[in-house]
Amino acid sequence: MNTALLFGATGLVGKQVLAQLTANEYYDKIVVFNRKTQHYSSPKVEEIISDLKDLELIKEKIKGEVVFICVGTTIKKAGTKANFEAVDLELPISIAMAAKENNVSCLVAISSLGANVHSSNFYLKTKGDTEQSLSEIGVKHTYFVRPSMLFGKREEFRLAEYLGKIALKAFGLFLFGSLKKYKGIEDWQVAKAMILMAKNKPKQNVFESDELINIIN
């Protein structure tokens, strides 16, 4: 039985990952970890309800071929830097450690364009710290996607993001060469690229927006 594990299925990209995994004939089972039930209709989906602080439960249930980590928040929504790190750094580390211990062979995680452990920006430094920590844990095939502005329908309205999308759509056609990575990308495109990474196991392990587009074309 081919099993995929998914954290962050209620987010913008996570929803797309789940939809595409459900439609993918290769996967017989998708184990989804949620804080609240989403009442999925597909018989392929097994939902695990947890506050995601129960590390023993996570460790027990992370058994499969690949784990997709689509968790993420904003500092504004988290309220404090510590709360932000709990979601964007500590939780992915716990997931990766459990995956490694249970011999999950592939891990695909959403990061951010500009992620860098040496960044003076707290958000980007945290993303860089997450990438470094997960790489050091050593799941055999570990991949990070660094999308630019994400296009898709969010449940909550973000004014700055909305204005940024308008600007990127207007100027995206003029971004060439090294600037292509700044082009916006659709949520479903990121999800499709993540699933293809898990299937094809490329040697490269970090992918920015333009490289994600190349994967799916």
Confidence (pLDDT) at 129:
98
The tens digit of pLDDT for each residue in 25-36 reads 999 999 999 999
Confidence (pLDDT) at 181:
60
Confidence (pLDDT) at 4:
98
**What are the structural domains, with CATH classification, of the chain?**
3-216 (3.40.50.720)
What is the torsional sign of CA 133, 135, 140, 141?
Answer: positive
**Which residue ranges in the chain fall short of pLDDT 70?**
152-182
Alpha helices in the chain (DSSP H): 12-23, 55-61, 75-78, 81-85, 91-101, 122-137, 159-171, 187-200, 209-216
CA distance 8 to 72: 7
CA distance 116 to 119: 5
Confidence (pLDDT) at 22:
97
Confidence (pLDDT) at 184:
81
CA distance 88 to 75: 10
pTM, 2 dp: 0.89
C-alpha Rg value of the chain to the nearest Å:
17
